[in-house]
């Protein structure tokens, strides 16, 4: 696990880099807002690392279409207030071409209107469907849709004969967005949600809410969050002797969460991008080459496994770089290019954007994974 000192150094290095002129035609200025430190660091740290790695790689190769990339990275610590303040700085003072991030859905929703009004491209790394639904002209996201994750979970439950479940969600933007999708889609899947409970995203003990769910005679539990509480849910549910399958959202896509839960994480089921199972993909899979290359580069530089969250930063930068390489740095042209970009191979899936779809992914972006011996493996 990265130390606080090294995390701070990472953010500081990007923020304090010698500024380049916003008017310099040889520069592509990109802003980024990630929760590098704080309770959502398991999202923001791999995002910041991956983005810096991609920028460094681009500049070593001559930049994007011969233009040097300047990255201005801000650590929001997961705070919506800081995210808004940093976004205003990036737009008004730094005149960035685009902003990548934030890490969380709550922050992204706060920036949606701000960036749209300022006509500045936002490529969010968060997952809540409301970030792009309804569509905002200047706002895109690279994490797959909540509704797809919910549908994958319910389809898996159907195959397991599960019909009655309990749901608990954090009170974060991501948690509440997921809860809405679960409640909406359950009836059509033949799933009864016997109880749906919220908990504080900073909770350190969830025994009370889990005891309530246990009393409802459910066949499985779904937790929807991105915070460390994901690990606490797993520990508490097993401490209660609650022996039912536990499903998590795609927010579980970092091995650090499984490691924090220890043995209690074994058997946890969740939908996620293929980056977590890159090595076992068939040789001809269209994402395999990219995923293995990213995984190897990340491990070589940081000596730890990549996460689905770092992959979101990889995709966001790649999409912006593709646009700049084709149409230059005019904001309107870059926005228009992204909105019609199709067949773009990313870590999260194959992106096909359109004016009506600013996410560009389908349900096929997900694989159902489980925890086995402390590792993520495909569910069989």
Regions of the chain short of the pLDDT cut 50: 1-9, 11-23
pLDDT of residue 281: 86
Half-sphere exposure of 371 (CA within 13 A, CB side): 26
Please, what sign has the CA dihedral across residues 307, 271, 73, 335? positive
Q: What is the DSSP letter of 194?
A: E
Could you tell me the domains of the chain? 4-144+290-362 (3.40.50.2300), 146-272 (3.40.50.2300)
Nearest C-alpha neighbor of 113 from the set 49, 124, 36, 153: 124
367 vs 72: CA distance, rounded Å: 33
Q: How many other CB atoms are there within 10 angstroms of residue 324's CB atom?
A: 23
Alpha-carbon distances of 318 from 111, 280, 290, 359, rounded to whole Å? 21, 24, 12, 14
Q: What is the DSSP letter of 251?
A: G
pLDDT of residue 227: 85
pLDDT of residue 24: 60
CB 182, CB 197: distance < 8 Å: no
173 vs 80: CA distance, rounded Å: 11
215 vs 208: CA distance, rounded Å: 11
CB 350, CB 315: distance < 8 Å: no
Tens of pLDDT, residues 17-36: 434 334 466 899 999 999 99
CA 123 to chain centre: 11
CA 225 to chain centre: 11
Half-sphere exposure of 191 (CA within 13 A, CB side): 31
pLDDT of residue 280: 82
CB 193, CB 167: distance < 8 Å: yes
């Amino acid at each position: 696990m990265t130390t606080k000192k090294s995390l701070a150094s990472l953010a500081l290095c990007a923020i304090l880099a010698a500024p380049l002129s916003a008017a310099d035609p040889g520069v592509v200025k990109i802003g980024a807002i990630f929760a590098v430190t704080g309770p959502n660091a398991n999202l923001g740290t791999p995002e910041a690392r991956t983005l810096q790695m991609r920028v460094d790689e681009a500049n070593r190769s001559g930049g994007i279409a011969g233009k040097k990339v300047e990255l201005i990275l801000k650590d929001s610590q997961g705070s919506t207030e800081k995210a808004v303040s940093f976004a205003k700085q990036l737009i008004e003072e730094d005149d960035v071409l685009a902003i990548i991030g934030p890490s969380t859905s709550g922050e992204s929703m706060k920036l949606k209107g701000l960036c749209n009004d300022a006509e500045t491209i936002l490529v969010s790394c968060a997952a809540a469907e409301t970030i792009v639904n309804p569509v905002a002209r200047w706002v895109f996201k690279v994490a797959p849709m909540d509704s797809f994750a919910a549908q994958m979970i319910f389809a898996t439950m159907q195959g397991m004969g599960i019909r009655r479940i309990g749901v608990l969600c954090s009170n974060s933007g991501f948690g509440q967005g997921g809860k809405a999708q679960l409640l909406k889609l359950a009836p059509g899947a033949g799933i009864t949600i016997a109880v749906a409970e919220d908990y504080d995203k900073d909770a350190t003990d969830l025994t009370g809410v889990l005891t309530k769910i246990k009393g409802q005679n459910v066949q499985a539990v779904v937790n929807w969050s991105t915070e460390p509480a994901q690990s606490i849910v797993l520990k508490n549910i097993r401490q209660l002797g609650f022996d039912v399958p536990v499903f998590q959202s795609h927010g579980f896509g970092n091995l650090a969460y499984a490691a924090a839960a220890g043995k209690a994480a074994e058997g946890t089921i969740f939908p996620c991008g293929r980056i977590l199972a890159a090595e076992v993909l068939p040789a001809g899979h269209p994402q395999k080459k990219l995923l293995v290359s990213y995984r190897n580069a990340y491990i070589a530089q940081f000596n730890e496994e990549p996460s689905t969250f770092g992959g979101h930063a990889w995709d966001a930068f790649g999409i912006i770089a593709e646009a700049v390489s084709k149409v230059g740095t005019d904001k309107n042209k870059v926005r228009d290019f992204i909105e019609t970009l199709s067949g773009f191979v990313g870590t999260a899936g194959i992106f096909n954007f359109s004016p009506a779809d600013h996410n560009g992914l389908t349900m096929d972006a997900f694989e159902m994974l489980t925890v086995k011996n402390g590792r993520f493996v495909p569910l069989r």
